[in-house]
Amino acid sequence: MRHLAAPCLLSLLLCLSAAAKDKAAPLDRKGFFGLPFPIISYNSDLGFNTGVCGDLLDYGQGGLYPDYRQKLHFELSWFTKGKLILHADYDSKDLLENVRFFAAATWDRDPMCNFYGLNGSLSPYDRTLDRKGGIAMYSYNRQMIRVLGNASGRIVGPLKWTAGLNWRYYITRDIDMKGYDPAMTMYRKCVENGIISTREASGGQHLDLRAGIEFDTRDYEPCPNKGCWGELMFIGSPDITGGPWSYLQLAMRWRQYIAILREGRLTFAYQLGWQQKLWGELPFYLLQEMGTLRFKQPITEGLGGMTTLRGVLGNRLLGDGYAWTNIELRSRVYSFRVFKRFDIDIGVNPFCDLGWITAPVRIGAFSALTGLSEKEVWRETCRTHGDAGIGLKLTMNGSYIVSLEWAMPFRRDDGDYGLFVAMNYIF
C-alpha cells in the first residue's frame, strides 16, 4: 500500500485543482464523421499491441452532437504475446422506431491465453512459472468466434426491455508455442486431475438467449457526468450440441455518476456488478464471460484484468458466481480546441477495484484433490481481492477516448501490477 500513496495523492490533487475555464461555443455536426486510428498500446496481460481501429458516426441532421444516431466500430489488432483480435460492431439508436439495436462479430485467437486455474486463491499463483525457463504454467491455446445481436426498447420513462442472442464457438487445446512445455501448464494439470473434463477440454459451440430490463438516466453515454444506468439480465443456454452444457445465469450491473463540479470537471463514479449461475453447468472456458448487452471493449472478460479488476491478473478469479465494484474520481483538468473541429479534454481518474468469487465451481473435485472440506473450499475461494491505481484520459469530441491506466493489487498472489493503454472508460 505504501507504493500507492504517492500516485493516489498526486491524482487527488490534480482532480481537486481541475481547470475551471469554459470551452468555446459547443460544436455541432451533421451527417457522417469518422477517423481511423493506429493502435499502439500496451496490456500487462497480453503485451504490446499494434493495429488499427476506427469509428464511423452518423449525427443525422444536427442537434445530436456529441450523441449520434448510429455508429460503426472496427478493430484489427495484434499483441506481442500472440493474441489477435478482429472485431466489428454496429450500434443504432433509431434503426427501428423506439428500438435500439446492437450487433457484433469477433474473432479472437490467443495461442497463450491466460488460465490461472479455478476458484481464485484455491489455485495458487507462482510467478516463477509464468512464461519463464521454458514453462508457461498459466497459458493454454484458445480461439473464439462470436456473433451476437440484441435490442432494447422503452417501457416507460428511463425503463427499457432488453433481449438478445449470442453464439460462440471455442477451440481450446494445449499450447504449441516453441520453447514451452505443453505438459507443464495449469490447463493440462486440470485435465489430468479431472477438474476439466475431456468433454470440454477441446472447446465447443454455444448459443444463449438473453432477456431483461435496463434503466438509463445518463446525460451522455461514452463519459457521463451525472445519472444512473442499471441492467438486470437472465442468460439461458440450451446445449445445441446435445451435450451437458445447459445453464441459466443472472447478471446485474449498476452504475452511478455524481457531478461534483460543473461541466464534468469533477465526477464521482462507481459500478456494482454481480453475475451468478442459477442452474446447470458451464464449461471452464465460459466462466470468464461477462454478461452484458453492449460492451466497451471487443473482449470483455473477468474477474481480473483490464475491464474489471485492473491491478489483478486477467481472469485470475473464475467461479460459478462473482461480484465486483469499481470506484473512480474522474476529473477534466484541461480542455482545448484544435483546428476549430476537435474538442480535446485531458482527464485524470484515481480508482479502486474490489472483487469476490461468490460461488466456487466444482467443489467436490477440488475437495477431493486438496483434502479440504467443502466449507474450507468456500472460505478459501471467496476471499476479497482488489487493487488501486490511477488513470489518464484523452478525449476527442466526447466520443474517442484513449485511456492509460496503472494499478497495483492488494494481494501478492494476484500478480505484480496492471498497466493498460486502451480505448474508453471501463464503465
pLDDT, tens digit (0-9, with 9 covering 90-100), for 208-253: 999 999 999 999 888 899 999 999 999 999 887 667 889 999 999 9
Residue holding cell 469499481? 326
Query: Do residues 172 and 188 lie in contact, with contact meaning Cβ atoms separated by under 8 Å?
Result: no
Could you tell me the CATH number of the domain that includes residue 419? Answer: 2.40.160.50
pTM of the model: 0.87
Predicted pLDDT at 65:
76
Predicted pLDDT at 424:
86
Predicted pLDDT at 396:
87
Residue-number span of the structural domain to which 380 is assigned: 2-423
Distance CA 192, CA 197 (A): 9
Distance CA 236, CA 298 (A): 22
Predicted pLDDT at 416:
94
Predicted pLDDT at 27:
67
Residue type for 373, please?
Answer: S
Task: Report how far apart, in Å, the C-alpha atoms of 200 and of each of 132, 178, 276, 318, 396 are.
Answer: 28, 25, 20, 16, 44
Average pLDDT per consecutive 10 residues, the chain (427 residues; last block may be shorter): 44 44 59 82 85 88 80 92 94 87 96 95 93 94 97 95 96 94 96 93 94 95 92 92 86 97 91 97 94 84 93 96 97 88 91 97 91 92 97 88 95 94 89
**Number of folded domains that form the chain:** 1
